[in-house]
Amino acid sequence: MDKFANFPTTPISPARGGAQVTPDDATPLTQVSRALYVGQGGDIAATLADGDTVTFEAVPSGAILPIRAASVSATGTTAGAIVALW
């Protein structure tokens, strides 16, 4: 039973879905994320929903980045066990 099934999904509500991320320089995520979970710390090179490409340096293990990522690049990404949340 999901008591919250009829509540709207907003940018600050908990994630309702997710998928493992394999960093790739050419392939975007299947959908834009609401956040990224980083299981193994390192750098994250991402293209955000508006097209800006940024690198988050020294992201610690277990961090949740509240970013709308369209892709995570292999080049520049040293973090691992990344999960896109939406």
pTM of the model: 0.91
Three-state secondary structure call for residue 70? strand
- The reply to whether 64 falls in a domain is yes
Length of the chain equals: 86
Is residue 50 in some structural domain? Answer: yes
Residue 35 lies in a domain: yes
Residue 11 pLDDT > 80: no
Our count of domains for the chain comes to 1
Residues 6+ apart with CB under 8 A from 73: 23, 24, 25, 45, 46, 47, 53
Dump pLDDT digits (tens) for 17-76: 999 999 999 999 999 999 999 999 999 999 999 999 999 999 999 999 999 999 999 999
Q: What is the CA radius of gyration of the chain?
A: 13
Is 2 a member of any domain?
no
| 6 within some domain | no
Q: How confident is the model at residue 7 (pLDDT cuts 50, 70, 90)?
A: confident
- Residue listed under structure tokens 């277990």: 62
CB 85 within 8 A of CB 39: no
